[in-house]
Amino acid sequence: MSTPAGIYVHIPFCLTRCGYCDFNAYAGMDELKPRYLEALFREAELASPGWTGTEFVSVFLGGGTPTTLEAADLRVLLAHLRDRYSLTADAETTTEANPDTVTEGSLAELLDAGFQRVSIGAQSFDPAVLASLERIHQPASVRRAVEAARRAGFRNVSLDLIYGANGETLESWRRTLDEALALGPEHLSAYALTIEPATSLGRKVAAGDVPGPDPDLQADMFMLACEALVEAGYGHYEISNWARPGFECVHNLGYWERRPYLGLGAGAHAYRDDVRWWNVRPPETYMEKVEAGELPIGGSESLDPSDAYLEEVFLKLRILEGVPSSWFDHQRYEPYVQSGLLVDHLGQLVPTERGMLLLNELVLGLTG
């Protein structure tokens, strides 16, 4: 039997464009939704012959904001995927959601449609930080959304947080963590804010209007998150991800464990057997290609052994599985063990919390 795989579906629609986001997402393109959905169904059909015999253990709707589509549409989409692909009975099915795009009713419908996991973009519970990130929702919306998900019956809720925005202090971050924990999510992601050049924030930072994140403060925030979340009973299973035991995200683990995945939708990435390919990014082009009966592939790359090796090391260190010390010369990794960035755990080199913060250095240092 082949390695279990995942399906990623990209929904590029958003209510507004957030200041930090450089994903393939667009606000104000609502009129494209029906056509885009059709295109997704069509692509699923076109792509499916290439994946016969593959068993899928996860479906992940990301974006963009999948919940800008009606719950009924997402129901049809998931049903369509079930028809075309071999999903296991207990496959993890996630949709991302923006707090302002869900109600108890819509969430109940999503659950009924077969989505068992909802990942809510909370980002922060500090209104000033949300404003600085150019998010339109209020902290109260997050609480309301999580409560609605609970009432609707979701037993697997994840929250996304971002730390290090302009104006955020360690104290504010601690309150955000406390508020998030108070909502009792099964899963938490906490990302250090990265300034991407082609974003509203990126331009402001480049122009000197807004200071870029302070890496030392972000390091302190990371350490604080590690401490607070582990104390609250969450396992740290990837650099930016924590979960209650058994609630680690199967789908995202697939990326990091280099399991195959299929990507559907504009700009979605796919991977199998050391080959990576991706769809064209602009939704319009994507739809045109699919409507013409073509697979909308925009590019691909074949990983040569050195690329694959670099990825393997980099991803294995991220998920704290670690890499066998036997892969490296002793003198390469020993200084990192000495300086407390790696621990040699029965022949596996695993990053410490300090080491996770310097992962790029570790990867480059180890792979030379």
Partner 1 sequence: MAFSVQVDRGRRPASAGSDARRPRPYHWCAVSTEISRIRNFCIVAHIDHGKSTLADRMLELTHTVDQRAMRAQYLDRMDLERERGITIKAQAVRLFHEGYELNLIDTPGHVDFTYEVSRSLAACEGAILLVDAAQGLEAQTLANYHLARDAGLTIIPALNKIDLPAAEPAKRAEELAKLLGSDPAEILHVSAKTGEGVADVLKAVIDRVPHPEGDLRAPLQALIFDSAFDTYRGVIAYIRVKQGTLPSSATIKLFATHVTSEAEETGVMAPEATPVDALGPGEVGYLVTGLKDVHHAKVGDTITLAGKQGAAEPLPGYREPKPMVWSGLYPADGSDYSALREALDRLKLSDSALVFEPETSQALGFGFRVGFLGLLHMDIVRERLEREFDLELISTAPNVEFHVFRGTEETVVHNPAEMPPGGDYDRVEEPVIYATIITPATYLGAIFELCQARRGEMVDMEYLTPERVEVHYLLPLAEVVFDFFDQLKSKTRGFASLDYEPWGLQEARLVRVDIVLHGEPVDAFSSVVHRDKAYEYGKKMTERLKELIPRQLFDVAIQASIGSKVVARETVKAKRKDVLAKCYGGDITRKRKLLETQKKGKERMRRVGKVDVPQDAFIAALRVDEGARKK
Applying CB under 8 A, the residues found at the interface with partner 1 are 8, 23, 62, 191-194, 215-216, 218-219, 222, 239-240, 252, 255-256, 261, 263, 268-271, 276, 278, 301, 307, 310-311, 314-315, 318, 339, 341, 354, 356-361, 363-364
Between 142 and 192, CB nearer to partner 1: 192
CB of 34 to partner 1, least distance (A): 24
Between 148 and 185, CB nearer to partner 1: 185
Q: Where are the beta strands (DSSP E) in the chain?
A: 5-11, 13-14, 26-27, 55-63, 86-97, 117-123, 157-163, 187-192, 235-238, 241-243, 261-264, 269-272, 275-279, 297-302, 323-324, 342-345, 348-351
Write the DSSP assignment of 250-309 as a string of letters: HHHHHHHTT--EEEESTT-EEEETTEEEEE-SSHHHHHHHHHTT---EEEEEE--HHHHH
Between 24 and 106, CB nearer to partner 1: 24
C-alpha 117/C-alpha 123 separation (Å) is 18
What sign does the CA torsion over 360, 365, 366, 368 have? positive
Q: Which residue has the tokens 């755990």?
A: 345
CB of 144 to partner 1, least distance (A): 26
Angle between helices 71-84 and 104-113 (to 10 degrees): 10
Between 103 and 367, CB nearer to partner 1: 367
CB of 173 to partner 1, least distance (A): 14
> Do 328 and 366 form a contact (C-beta atoms < 8 A)?
yes
Burial class of residue 300, CB neighbours in 10 A (0-12, 13-18, 19+): exposed
Total residue length of the chain: 368
CB of 152 to partner 1, least distance (A): 25
CB of 137 to partner 1, least distance (A): 20
Between 36 and 222, CB nearer to partner 1: 222
Q: How far is CA 217 from CA 33, 191, 213, 214, 366, in A?
A: 41, 13, 8, 5, 26
CB of 72 to partner 1, least distance (A): 25
Between 132 and 218, CB nearer to partner 1: 218
CB of 104 to partner 1, least distance (A): 28
CB of 357 to partner 1, least distance (A): 5
Between 114 and 365, CB nearer to partner 1: 365
Question: From the centroid of its chain, how far is CA 330?
Answer: 34
Between 139 and 351, CB nearer to partner 1: 351
